Structure 1
Amino acid sequence: MLLARPYWYLRHGQTDWNARDLSQGRTDVPLNATGEAQAVAAAQRVARHWRDGATPIARIVSSPLSRALRTAEEARDAIARASGVVLPLTTDDDLIEVCFGVQEGEPMGTWYDPWIAGEFTPEGAERFADLRMRVVRAVNRALEAGEGLPLIVAHGGVFRSLRSAMGMAPNVRLANAVPLYLTPASPEWTMTVYEE
């Protein structure tokens, strides 16, 4: 069960596969030029809100895949420039994107809903229930790692599993590089989107 504590979430910037609407999964596709610019802009938004009185980020925990780690590095550097504080940045293998098996590199399809429901798993892919369990474990570790809030930098599939754990409709696509502030509230979690 996901701990009822607030946290920040940031999906990585765009890759060439995102631009082509292909399922990436664990394939380590780097940010493209647009994704690099998105990561910089998102990092500046995170730093601005952190500096301007939002609940401060105390640490950054990222997926080890390069598209997420590069985005996390931009966030760390922007916060350091804005505040003079260099936050610890670590990776957690449990935040790696879901393995989509034979669907990696293929166009996104209509199989997401049956996959989330546990009715279908592509050949060689990870079950949604397993993804959710490991991602919740990773976020709980980040939440329990000390005072202050974590910024989780990861992937779209990872966030689908967190949406499920927070009682939200899971199959909602998260835009690239849009910072979110998530807070537990009764009866549901609230999600604040930080855009320009």
Structure 2
Amino acid sequence: MLHHKEFYYIRHGQTDWNAKGLMQGFTDIPLNETGRKQAYEAAEAIKGTKIRTICASPLGRALETAEILNQVLNCEIVILDDLKEAGFGVQEGLVDDGWFTAWKDGEFTPEGAETRQEFIQRATNAVNTAIDYPGPVLIAAHGGLYGAIKHYFDLPDYEPLPNCALCHHTPPNAKNPLWLRRFVNKD
């Protein structure tokens, strides 16, 4: 269960491995020029928000995205190890040949990878830790991590989060019993 607190979430900008369709996981692949451009565009979109803390994955692609956004926000960046992407073990650096769906369904775990359930638990705990910082909080992390928590928002599993998509999440309240998600910088 996610704590009922407002927060923002951004997936890191594009990397060369994203562009090639390769699974990254714990492998620390940096942003490419497109990814940096995406992050600067997201920084423009986030101007005027009241974000007080950025919580970021320690992986370079997410941390650099957070640092670019912080040029506008000028707030504390907290690095949380558990905001890392799922560890995909021997599948990192390879194209998904169908194993990823089996992993998400809990039917297959690559050698050296964490199970889907382990990842969902880690992701939920990490997001709860992040949103307990002075907020609203911006979480700068990964597409897989967002996928692990989006069932709380009643979102379809097949809908991936694009690179540098910036989402604002509002918790359930008396007027609305569901989490609300609004894209800040995407149509």
- Shift of residue 145, structure 1, vs aligned partner: 2.1
- Shift of residue 10, structure 1, vs aligned partner: 0.4
TM-score scaled by length of structure 1: 0.87
Show the counterpart of 2:120.
Answer: 132
In structure 2, C-alpha distance between the alignment counterparts of 1:133 and 1:91, rounded to whole Å: 19
Aligned Cα root-mean-square deviation (Å): 1.5
Contact 2:11 2:163 in 1 (8 A): yes
Q: What is the identity percentage for the equivalent residue pairs of Structure 1 and Structure 2?
A: 42
Contact 1:132 1:165 in 2 (8 A): no
Q: How does 1:1-196 map to 2 (within 5 A)?
A: 1-48=1-48, 50=49, 56-79=50-73, 86-146=74-134, 148-185=135-172, 186-195=176-185
**Which runs of 5 or more residues in structure 2 are unaligned?**
none
CA offsets 1:51-97 (integer angstroms, 9 cap, x no match): xxxxx211000000000000000111122xxxxxx210010000011
- Shift of residue 187, structure 1, vs aligned partner: 4.0
TM-score scaled by length of structure 2: 0.91
CA offsets 1:159-178 (integer angstroms, 9 cap, x no match): 10011343433342110011
Contact 2:152 2:179 in 1 (8 A): no
In structure 2, C-alpha distance between the alignment counterparts of 1:132 and 1:162, rounded to whole Å: 7
**Which runs of 5 or more residues in structure 1 are unaligned?**
51-55, 80-85
User: Residue type matched to 2:121 in 1?
Assistant: M
Residue 109 to residue 167, structure 1, CA distance change in 2 (3 Å): farther
The aligned length equals: 183
In structure 2, C-alpha distance between the alignment counterparts of 1:21 and 1:112, rounded to whole Å: 12
